[in-house]
Amino acid sequence: EAQVTQNPRYLITVTGKKLTVTCSQNMNHEYMSWYRQDPGLGLRQIYYSMNVEVTDKGDVPEGYKVSRKEKRNFPLILESPSPNQTSLYFCASSLFSPGTGKTGELFFGEGSRLTVL
Amino acid sequence: GESVGLHLPTLSVQEGDNSIINCAYSNSASDYFIWYKQESGKGPQFIIDIRSNMDKRQGQRVTVLLNKTVKHLSLQIAATQPGDSAVYFCAETPGGYQKVTFGTGTKLQVIP
């Protein structure tokens, strides 16, 4: 089954304790991206990756890091979480066509709800 | 989850009626648009897309209309069903297709 898998789905942590949210896709997609979703603000892009070892900032990258060492995985790292990073996080992937420079529809994971105390 | 639906504009429709959800996009350079549906506790799911060289595209029970002059996108759902109850987001992608910007969403409530 084609899917994007995120872990953990729920996490409560404390300020300053490093954490990683994993994301894995089994569709051989080149493009992967992380979003956070907050009430009234919709989905905002944190980081994205066009392919292995190629990552770039989205609209709200502060406080986050990512890596893309393998095509299927795109972990989101919070080195020193703060309460304002309490949110619902989504990982997504998409096909990317280098010839046209175009991506297609995004396939989303089920979300990871993070609470930072 | 449910907190996603707070603070959102809400459209309530009777089961069987048609629904129209509107979206104003911001970037005149955007040339690819997608509507997503997000049910409670789940990630967004693709509904339908349209490229800027079109002004209308139809799917099964859904139609997307694009008006580039006023930067407006709409999603029409025919014969709305209880299973259509969800939050609907429009998304725009400017040339380059790297950044995707989502609208804030509209909550659709279907009254049985």
What is A17-42 written as a DSSP string? Answer: --EEEEEEESS--SEEEEEEEETTTE
Torsion, Cα A20 A26 A29 A35, to 10 degrees, reads -30
Residue B15: the pLDDT is 97
Amino acid at residue number A45: Q
pLDDT digits (tens, 9 = 90+) for A81-92: 999 999 999 999
Residue B96: the pLDDT is 53
Give the model's confidence band at B1: pLDDT under 50 very low, under 70 low, under 90 confident, else very high: very low
Residue B3: pLDDT over 60: no
CB-CB under 8 Å, B8 with A102: no
Q: Which of A36, A48, A55, A106 to mutate to test the interface with B (most CBs of B within 10 A)?
A: A106
Contact A92, A105 (CB under 8 A): no
Q: Which of B2, B3, B4, B57 to mutate to test the interface with A (most CBs of A within 10 A)?
A: B4
Cα A23 from chain centroid? 7
Token pair belonging to B62: 């859904």
User: Nearest to residue A90, comparing CAs of A61, A59, A114, A54?
Assistant: A114
pLDDT digits (tens, 9 = 90+) for B57-104: 999 999 999 999 999 999 999 999 999 999 999 998 875 556 788 888
pLDDT digits (tens, 9 = 90+) for B20-46: 999 999 888 888 899 999 999 899 999
B11 beta partners:
B108
- Give A95 to chain B, closest Cα distance, Å: 11
- Which DSSP category does A95 fall into? -
Residue B7: the pLDDT is 66
Residues of A whose CB is below 8 A from B3: 39, 88
Contact B16, B79 (CB under 8 A): yes
Residue A39: the pLDDT is 86
B36 beta partners:
B46, B89
- The beta-carbon neighbor of B46 closest among A39, A44, A105 is A105
What does pLDDT average to over chain A? 93
Contact B101, B27 (CB under 8 A): yes
pLDDT digits (tens, 9 = 90+) for A3-20: 999 999 999 999 999 999
- The beta-carbon neighbor of B4 closest among A37, A92, A101 is A37
